[in-house]
Every structure is written in structure tokens, then in C-alpha cells.
Structure 1
Amino acid sequence: MPPRNPRAALAAAAQRFTFSATPRLDAELLLAHALGITRERLLLTLGDWQVPDTFNALVERRAAQEPIAYLTGTRAFWTIDLHVAPGVLVPRADSETLIEAAVAHFEGTAGPRRVLDLGTGSGALLLAALAQWPHASGVGIDASPAALGIARDNAERLGMAARAEMMAGDWTGTGEAFDLVLCNPPYIEVDAALPAEVREWEPASALFAGADGLDDYRRLAPLLPAQIAAGGVACVEIGSTQGAAVTALFEAIGLRVTVRRDLAGLDRCLVVTP
């Protein structure tokens, strides 16, 4: 029988999450979720609780390497908390590099008025930008009906539904020029080795982009010049080894490109201007 004592339950759960880089943190997040409290409150009042039965079910699902964000249904990103579920890519902290790049580009100005998020997924990038610039409005485009449903729900929950239009579409754009274009496209090689919690749970359509991981950049490149307004910028996520290759694709059609690194010092974002 699983332990009812929270300290013992956390230790037992962490021992099962050997595949994770943060097994104890995973266990704490799941127990806090099962209790309906924050992790911070859990840690401050650990001895006051008994372990609910729902925790055991969460542990079993995590042991099958289901992502924590799918189990708790939430993910923090930039300054917002997003609803996340199977069918959308789990937002990563690395992707915040795109918002940091946009903030740097618009420093000293009123910021962008119109924002486009290509492949919006959960709406993370678009909604983070709209939180950063409350006067802005924007469009999120995605080919996945499941992702669009989650993105619309996030916009509603965050009070941004009137400013965030979610549209079905592919890499065809809108015909409108935007002050800020954000994009985190699929960029992983189809035969790349990935953790099971990514390969088996997150949507393949949001991960893989051909044999070299560049298929979607090839489709994006001719779209971008018409989508970036004068004085505007596109911030496009890349894999850490793809800076030179994707820069060449964009420069070949006359765009100007600089590379921005993430907090780990790895190439993560192309800052693209007309």
C-alpha cells in the first residue's frame, strides 16, 4: 500500500522517477496538485497533510513518463500561467528567449501594436507578448484544432480574448504586416534521440521537421518579408546547432539576421528584420 505520510510518499515517488532530471521536484508538484495547494505551501506545511488517493494515480502516470505539465494542467511561461494538455507542445523556458529578444528590440518605444504568432500551440508566445504590452493585439495561427482550442481557452482565462484572435492555418500567414512576429516551429530531425516523455507524449507535428530539422524554416523564409512591418521584427526559435543554417536561409531572401542565446549560452533565437 502506498504511504500516507507525505514525506514517505514523496520519497517513494521520487525513487520511481529515475528518468527525470528533477525527480523530487516532480513528486512535490504532483502532491501539491493533488492537494489543491501551491508547492510553496506544501513545503511549509508538509507535516499537516495526508496523502490523497489521487496522488497515487498521478505517480503512476508520471512513472509512465507523461509530462508533468499534462498531469497538473498548467505551465508557467514568462509572466503568465497557461493551461496545457495533450495536443500542444509543453512551453519551455528556452522559448522565453524570443520574448526577451522582442523586449530588447522595442526598448525605448511604445512597443508593438500588432503581434503574430505562427504555430501558436498553447498560445504561449502570443499571450506572453500581449501581457508584456497591454495595448497590443494579435493573431495566433495553428494547424491543430486541439491546439487552437487550448489557445482560445488560455486567452479567455487570462482576460485577453478580445485582443487575441486564434486562427486555423499553416505557414501561409495572414497578408497583414505585423510589428512583432513570433514563431517556434518544429525543428527536430525525425531520427533524433529524444526522452520518452517528449517523443511518446508531445505532438509529433510540433516537434519534427524532416531529415535535417529545417523543413519548416524553408517554408517560413519566403513568408516573413511580407509579414514584418517597417521597424518591426521577427523572433524565431531555433535548435542550438541550427543558427548558421537557418540564418543562411533567411539571408538568402534579403532578411537581416542576428542570433540571440538562451540562459544556457546556446543559440536559441534568430532576430530577423527586413
Structure 2
Amino acid sequence: MILPGQTRQQALRHAVAILSEAGIDGAASDARFLLLHALGITQTDLVLYGNRVLNEEGAARFGEAVRRRLDGEPVARILGEWEFWGLPFVLNAATLVPRPDTETVVEAALALHPDRHRPLRLLDLGTGSGCILVSLLSEWGQAFGVGLDRSHEALACARTNARINGVGRRAAFLVGDWCSPFGKPFDVIVSNPPYIPSATIPTLADEVRLHDPHAALDGGEDGLLAYRWIVAEATGRVNGEHGRPALLGPDGALVLEVGYDQAEAVRRIGIDAGFSQASIRQDLAGHARVVTLSGPLSAGNGAES
């Protein structure tokens, strides 16, 4: 497939042809990412020294990466890392690959507090790789954040990402689910929860269905199960009544990523729980991607906005 003795540029062109023939979208960029990773070089190295010849080890590593891509493994999984919010994030089998759409959550949260020096308390529910929390901590230099996840493996990844991005001293990562108790409420709660209806999961593309952690995808029968739990815990209202201390402070906000057709349903969940403000933010593709819920909470169970 990829032979020693080929130059870097020849090997790259060969890989692009192989991936294109297999019908893989983005074959050129995929092949370039895989080549740079396999050889441990930068894009500048490729441009300046593209005529350097691959040795047996380099050819073997690049060939194996191309083979894995042909088998349907996403590029980010092969690399074991991906960029989000301009920052590097390592990945493992328990974490989703950070997507550009999710940066809309970061944008919506930052818009709540333009003063980057406020000493905020942040909570990221289902933190996964920690990409949302770490990105926010990189912008809010005086904030402290807690990342919660049920997966020990995901939390190990998130801790690593906090450390390599210089915010490890301002982050804590804990094992737990949506209803874990905390002693003090938070100023901002963010989450990209599972939101795919259970019956839809078998129909997903192989790159998602076979390589993303199932627990990070399955949102229950209608895809909204996690939102109901999160809103109930944020407000302290279970079945419309105050049942436990609220995770969200009285002036706080809940920022949630949603599926392409779920924004209005999630907004309604928030309003029915007593949030007096609910806004929807679009991603770069124009899809309703983030719902922000804030207060003050209404005295009754279901104020309109």
C-alpha cells in the first residue's frame, strides 16, 4: 500500500487516491492528517521537505493508519487527539471526538460573563474529554470548574487535557451522574449530554455507531431523558416540587447542547421547570444547537417567556 522509498509527497498522493477510491469524504485532508501524525512532522515540514524518502518504519506507520481509515475508523480515533477551541485534546475510547458544533456551547457560556476575570464556579455534566470545561477555564482565568462523568476512563482523559492546557489547578474531575450532590451551587452549568433516541442509534453512520461510546449517545426513548434530569437537578425541582438543593445558583445559567431538532423541546422543559428565560443559539451551519436557561426561577411551576 505505502512503500518505503516513496517520498512524503508521493506517499501522500498515493494515500489520497486510495481513500478517494474507497469513497471516503475528505480523503485529501484525512490523508494529510494521518501522514503528519505517522511521521511526527508538521505541515511546514511537509511543504519544505516533501521530497524526503520514507523509511520502512515510517511507511509501515502511515500504511497502518491508512488501513484503519479504510476500515471506517475516524481520523481523530486513529490520531488519539483532536483540536477544539484552538486547544489540543487527547482522546480515548470513553470520550466523544470534540466537534466544531460543540464550540457553540463555549460561545454561549462566554457570552453570559464577558468579564474574563470573574471568579466563577463551573460545572460540566458528562464532561467526557473535558473539552468544554477546559476551553471555558482557558478563557475565564479566575474560574474554577468541576467535570462530572460516570466513566473513570473518560475522567482520566479529562484530567490529562486540563493539565496539558494549563488549567489543571483550577479543575476537579469526579465520578458521578446527573444527580450527584454538591455543597455549593454553580454560576454556570454546561453539558453536551446524550441526546440520540435509542431506536435511532442502530441507523447511525458506522464511524459513530461503531467507534463512539454508546453511553454518550443514548438519550432514551425520545432523546430528551438527560435534559429532564439535568434541568430537575439544576433547579432542585423534581416532579415540579423542590426536592433537593439546586445545583444552579439563583443568578446562574444552564447551557445545553441539543440535537438538530430538539431546541424547542428542551426550551419547553426549562420553562416548565420554572426558568424565566430561555434562549436558543445557532451553530455555524445555522442549526439550533444550544439552549441557555436562566432565571430568576419563577415561583410557580411553569412560567411562560
Shared fold, TM over 0.5: yes
Shift of 1:198: 0.9
Secondary structure, counterpart of 1:174 in structure 2: coil
1:241 aligns with 2:245: no
* Cα distance between partner residues in 2 of 1:247 and 1:153: 34
Shift of 1:109: 6.7
Shift of 1:250: 1.3
After the TM superposition, which residues 164-243 of structure 1 pair with which residues of structure 2 at under 5 Å, given as runs? 164-175=171-182, 176-192=184-200, 193-225=203-235, 226-243=246-263
Q: Identify the range of structure 1 (127-136 vs 109-118) with the bigger mean alpha-carbon deviation.
A: 109-118
Structure 1 runs not aligned, ≥5 long = none
After the TM superposition, which residues 1-274 of structure 1 pair with which residues of structure 2 at under 5 Å, given as runs? 1-3=1-3, 4-17=6-19, 18-50=22-54, 52=58, 53-108=60-115, 110-111=117-118, 113-175=120-182, 176-192=184-200, 193-225=203-235, 226-255=246-275, 256-274=277-295
Identical residues among aligned pairs (%): 37
* Cα distance between partner residues in 2 of 1:98 and 1:111: 19
Is the CA contact (8 Å cut-off) linking 2:7 and 2:50 kept in structure 1?
A: no
Is the CA contact (8 Å cut-off) linking 1:30 and 1:58 kept in structure 2?
A: yes
* Cα distance between partner residues in 2 of 1:8 and 1:109: 47
Secondary structure, counterpart of 1:120 in structure 2: coil
* Cα distance between partner residues in 2 of 1:122 and 1:89: 7
* Cα distance between partner residues in 2 of 1:174 and 1:152: 21
Q: Identify the range of structure 1 (185-194 vs 137-146) with the bigger mean alpha-carbon deviation.
A: 185-194
Shift of 1:79: 3.2
Per-residue Cα deviation, 1:227-268 (whole angstroms, up to 9, x for no partner):
222332221000011011111111111112110000111000
Aligned-residue RMSD, C-alpha: 1.8
What one-letter code is carried by the residue in structure 1 that aligns with 2:2? P
* Cα distance between partner residues in 2 of 1:20 and 1:170: 37
Is the CA contact (8 Å cut-off) linking 1:112 and 1:180 kept in structure 2?
A: no
Secondary structure, counterpart of 1:107 in structure 2: coil
* Cα distance between partner residues in 2 of 1:181 and 1:265: 24
* Cα distance between partner residues in 2 of 1:126 and 1:109: 15
- Rate the CA distance shift 1:112–1:214 in 2: closer, same or farther, 3 A: farther
- Rate the CA distance shift 1:68–1:112 in 2: closer, same or farther, 3 A: farther
Is the CA contact (8 Å cut-off) linking 1:79 and 1:131 kept in structure 2?
A: no
Shift of 1:5: 3.0
Greater RCO, CA 8 A, separation 6+: 1
What number of residue pairs does the alignment pair up?
Answer: 274
- Rate the CA distance shift 1:25–1:110 in 2: closer, same or farther, 3 A: same
Shift of 1:101: 0.6
Per-residue Cα deviation, 1:112-143 (whole angstroms, up to 9, x for no partner):
52110000000111100110111111100000
Per-residue Cα deviation, 1:152-190 (whole angstroms, up to 9, x for no partner):
111222232221100000111433311111100001122
Is the CA contact (8 Å cut-off) linking 2:159 and 2:173 kept in structure 1?
A: yes
Moved over 3 A (4+): 15-20, 108-112
Query: Which residue matches 2:299?
Result: none
* Cα distance between partner residues in 2 of 1:170 and 1:43: 47
